Amino acid sequence: MGTDKALIGVDGRAMAVRVAEALDRAGAADVVCVGGDLEALAALGLAAIAEPEPGAGPVSGIVGALNAAGSGVVVVLACDLLDPSADAIRSTVGALGPAQLAVPVSAGRRQWMHAAWRAEVSEHLRAALSRGVRAVHDAAEGLETVEVPGVPAAALADADRTGDLPTGSTLPTSMDVPEIDIDELERRRDEGATVIDVRQPDEYEEAHIPGARLIPMTDVPERVEEIPDDETVYLVCGSGPRSQRAAAWLLQQGHDAVNVTGGTQAWIEAGKPLATGTEPS
């Protein structure tokens, strides 16, 4: 589709969020996104990890999921399911029994991206991946597999084309985020403006803008109540991309947020004052 399908909005929620919610309702102990835009997924409140071999297709993503779990049964779903169903997930897991893999069948075809795997098959898939195997059905060859009949086709359908999306779906866009440079930030900071540093703690401790409060970008959704909603807040990171995403998310929540272009790196290069350690000043 020319865009990240995981972030497409359906019924007001990103597709990846809808799939994660279905897994949660089905009883999943943990839900993890593998691959994609990790920062954008984290900003949605989702745990996200890089896939083992980016660009190597769905087998790499499945291996990443199995590795993340380590043991037990792992359900791997496509991020772009149109109507993810907790009942369909439970049916798939329930059919696994002592087998290594359970795959629903729809219209005579195995639906590989709605399957339940035993984590122990990770080595088998890794070996296939190392041989250059990219198709899931080829990578799964040799595994003890059971087919799952009766799973509703609607619960297995995904969005291959824009026309597959329900009416009212929203494609992710690069929201216009207000921006200022470091010189303007210095002036506004001196006037008492709130500055939020969205880098990681180790980056912050090494050097940060005096007075900037640390809230790592991945923590912003959980700690949004700590961010003032009655004034303009200024977001800064290393060079600008992370703070731009955080500012965009805050704007969507109704906050008045501004991104600082160039970030802390530009601040340092300009010779402006710095603070170190875990405290804002």
* Residue pLDDT, tens place only, 61-89: 999 999 999 999 999 999 999 999 999 99
* Residue pLDDT, tens place only, 24-65: 999 999 999 999 888 888 888 899 999 999 888 899 999 999
> Which range is least confidently modeled, 33-37, 206-210, 239-243, 262-266?
239-243
Q: Which domains does the chain have, with CATH numbers?
A: 5-164 (3.90.550.10), 179-269 (3.40.250.10)
- How far is Cα 156 from Cα 151, in angstroms, rounded to an integer? 8
Q: Which of 26, 237, 246, 266 is catalytic?
A: 237
Q: Tell me whether residue 79 is one of the annotated catalytic residues.
A: no
How many other C-beta atoms are found inside a 10 Å radius of the C-beta of residue 260?
Answer: 30
In 3D, which of 28, 21, 39, 77 has the Cα closest to residue 199?
39
For the chain, what is the total number of helices (H) and then of strands (E)?
11, 14
Are the C-beta atoms of residues 148 and 92 closer than 8 Å to each other? yes
